[in-house]
Amino acid sequence: MAATTDAGAAAPMSHGRILRALSGLYLGMFVAIVSSTIVTNALPRIITDLRTGQSTYTWVIVSTLLATTVSSPLWGKLADLVSKKALVQLGLLIFAAGSLLSGLATDPATLIAARTVQGAGAGGLLSLTQVIMATMISPRERGRYSGYMGAVLAVGTAGGPLVGGVIVDTRGLGWRWCFFVVVPLALIAMAVLQRNLDLPVRRRKVTVDWAGAALITSAASLLLVWVTFAGDDYAWLSWWSAAMVGGGTLLAVLFVLVETRAAEPIVPLRLFRNRTVALAVVASLLAGVAMYASTTFLSQYFQLSRGQSPTAAGILTLPLILSLAVASAAGGRIITRTGRWKPFLVGGAVLLAVGCALLGLLRHGTPYGVTAAGMACLGVGLGLTLQNLVLAVQNQVRPQELGAASTAVAFFRTLGGTVGVSALGAVLANRVTRYAEPGLARLGVRHAPSSDALPDLGALPAPVRAVVEDAFGHATGSLFLYTVPFALLSVVAILCIKEVPLRTSSALQAAGAAGTGGPEGDGRDHGADLGRPHGA
């Protein structure tokens, strides 16, 4: 149990104790990040091996993002009701099971289903890490530990593509080991959490909004299916499109109605009455489009347009990865030192737009210096915006709403990325066919490759390969141009956020002042009503 002062309020946890408590969380985050970056870099080889196409490539990513999206609010709500340690361990267990099943998959449907399980576990790891940090550490000091998280991010994101490339390119291993390798890491993280994480919470009756979770999952899934197949299997303006859009809209309306009446809503609508929360959610949703587009399609660009191996593709994306990690770590430390956070958000959003614009210049023959500059701007922009949007929200909500508020921001960021990846994947497939047709016609090839097919470049004649590589390069540049308006809108949303000084007390100190107690893991049914809001 946290130490207390004579006044009864919980004393701040020591630096060493916080690091020990966060060690398992950092390891869990590392597992989730490595799994994502390994798989993204290996996907072109996976899709070729399974003899499938671009829609499967997109859905292997989207299934994980969708599961992460819809599960994050549920994990956040449970974090406000039951033991956070037990929840994050459950998330690791689900994640490990999904990874194992993904490695054993023999067809696209099984792989997508297993990736969905993996995404549900990742949703718990990513959202609960933010919630637990917010519980233990004051907003003013949180930047310091976000910096450590940036270091974890650097190792995971920089090492993942390289390790994944080596695994895929190594005879006797292959892409399946990209999934198998994270399972023992997840089990180690569970053991570290069991030993080191101990949070005071309070008994509370659990009420879970299952109806809300089912409705938002159904609404998002239906709209994503529409975006993926519209323009290929049926026209954008058709009765199929009308039925799917209408059905998705109806389910979304029902979700809002259910949330207004639920005892413990999965997304508390009252949070959006707070201007900072509402604007941060909008900015996160818009930034999510650029974030997931870059991590999904840049590796594919280097492999299918530039003809690089998975290992080389991982090395070539290092400017994005390292700039994101450095900006996150350095920005967090400066915010802790100065207490100012809005200038970093504004600057990050502007760099995000600049990076997307530079990557919009991508073609097959684009000099690598231009590509690296675009990736660096994009990485710095993401590093300065994503964590600090969560920080701005956590600074303005009551301690007992930290879980729901933190995961609301993460939810809409991932939702934006999910919709963006699905839509952009469909656009990419269509544009590749369109850009390839003239060149193939000049070569006497009557039919362009299917818009859903991912080519095996090594099996193509040299002239045809050159045309296909050029088409993939041009199509990828077009995708990033589509993300520029979203990035610019995120700048507008962030400019409208009012900067409020960061609090200097943590939720645990508020809990001590309110007289709550009982460490997690003591066998009781805990809740997270951590006390009165700051200033109450």
Q: Is the pLDDT score of 430 beyond 70?
A: yes
Q: Is the pLDDT score of 94 beyond 90?
A: yes
Between these two residues, 164 and 261, which has the higher pLDDT value?
Answer: 261
Q: Is the pLDDT score of 521 beyond 60?
A: no
DSSP characters for 59-86?
Answer: HHHHHHHHHHHHHHHHHHHHHTTS-HHH
How many Cβ atoms from other residues are within 10 Å of residue 328's Cβ? Answer: 29
Predicted local confidence at residue 7, as pLDDT = 37
Q: Which of 186-195, 222-231, 471-480, 497-506 has the highest mean pLDDT?
A: 471-480
Q: Is the pLDDT score of 50 beyond 90?
A: no
Element containing residue 527 per DSSP (H, E): strand 526-527
Q: Which of 226-235, 446-455, 515-524 has the highest mean pLDDT?
A: 226-235
Predicted local confidence at residue 201, as pLDDT = 54
Predicted local confidence at residue 216, as pLDDT = 80
Q: How far apart are CA 73 and CA 401, in angstroms?
A: 12
β-strand pairing of 526-527 with 202-203 = antiparallel
Mean of the pLDDT values across residues 383-407? 75
Mean of the pLDDT values across residues 462-483? 87
Specify whether the backbone of 339 is left (phi greater than 0), alpha (psi in -120 to 50) or beta.
Answer: left
DSSP secondary structure code for residue 532 in this structure: S
User: Rounded to whole angstroms, what are the CA distances from 17 to 13, 134, 518?
Assistant: 6, 15, 17
3-class SS string, 154-198: HHHHHHHHHHHHHHHHCCCCCCCHHHHCHHHHHHHHHHHHHHHCC
Q: How far apart are CA 164 and CA 42, in angstroms?
A: 6
CA 317 to chain centre: 18
Q: Is 384 helix (H, G, I), strand (E, B) or coil?
A: helix
Which parts of 105-138 fold into alpha helices (H)?
Answer: 108-136
Q: Is the pLDDT score of 131 beyond 80?
A: no
Q: How far apart are CA 378 and CA 325, in angstroms?
A: 12
Q: How far apart are CA 316 and CA 320, in angstroms?
A: 9
Predicted local confidence at residue 533, as pLDDT = 31
Predicted local confidence at residue 9, as pLDDT = 40
Predicted local confidence at residue 15, as pLDDT = 67
Assess contact for 50 and 36: CB atoms under 8 A: no
Mean of the pLDDT values across residues 170-191? 85
Predicted local confidence at residue 144, as pLDDT = 64
Amino acid found at 284:
S
How do residues 273-303 score in pLDDT, each as one tens digit?
888 888 888 888 888 887 777 767 887 888 8
Which segment of 1-10, 249-258, 386-395, 423-432 scores lowest on mean pLDDT? 1-10
pLDDT band with cut points at 50, 70 and 90 for residue 376:
very high
DSSP secondary structure code for residue 13 in this structure: P
Q: Is the pLDDT score of 105 beyond 80?
A: yes
Q: How far apart are CA 245 and CA 239, in angstroms?
A: 10
Q: Is 202 helix (H, G, I), strand (E, B) or coil?
A: strand
Which one, of 404, 387, 143, 385, lies nearest residue 274 by Cα?
Answer: 404
Q: How far apart are CA 342 and CA 304, in angstroms?
A: 39
Predicted local confidence at residue 204, as pLDDT = 57
Mean of the pLDDT values across residues 223-249? 80
- Locate 46 and state its tokens: 């996976």
Mean of the pLDDT values across residues 132-145? 69
Between these two residues, 319 and 453, which has the higher pLDDT value?
Answer: 319
Predicted local confidence at residue 308, as pLDDT = 83
Q: Is 526 helix (H, G, I), strand (E, B) or coil?
A: strand
Predicted local confidence at residue 205, as pLDDT = 63
Predicted local confidence at residue 254, as pLDDT = 94
Mean of the pLDDT values across residues 107-119? 89
Q: What is the mean pLDDT of the chain?
A: 77
DSSP characters for 284-323?
Answer: HHHHHHHHHHHHHHHHHHHHHTS---HHHHHHHTHHHHHH
Mean of the pLDDT values across residues 53-67? 75
pLDDT band with cut points at 50, 70 and 90 for residue 260:
confident
Q: Which residues of 270-288 are buried (b: 16+ CB within 10 A; e: fewer)?
A: ebeeeebbbbbbbbbbbbb
Q: How far apart are CA 364 and CA 308, in angstroms?
A: 12
Share of the chain above pLDDT 70, in %: 79
Q: Which of 57-61, 70-74, 187-191 has the highest mean pLDDT?
A: 187-191
Mean of the pLDDT values across residues 156-163? 69
CA 218 to chain centre: 20
Predicted local confidence at residue 150, as pLDDT = 60
Predicted local confidence at residue 450, as pLDDT = 54
How many alpha carbons lie under 13 Å from residue 241 in its C-beta half-sphere? Answer: 12
Which one, of 266, 134, 22, lies nearest residue 534 by Cα?
Answer: 134
Predicted local confidence at residue 527, as pLDDT = 33
Which one, of 92, 75, 174, lies nearest residue 130 by Cα?
Answer: 75
- Locate 86 and state its tokens: 């037990």
Predicted local confidence at residue 368, as pLDDT = 92
Per the listing, tokens 């053991």 go with 191
Mean of the pLDDT values across residues 341-356? 90
pTM above 0.95, yes or no: no
Q: How far apart are CA 71 and CA 407, in angstroms?
A: 9
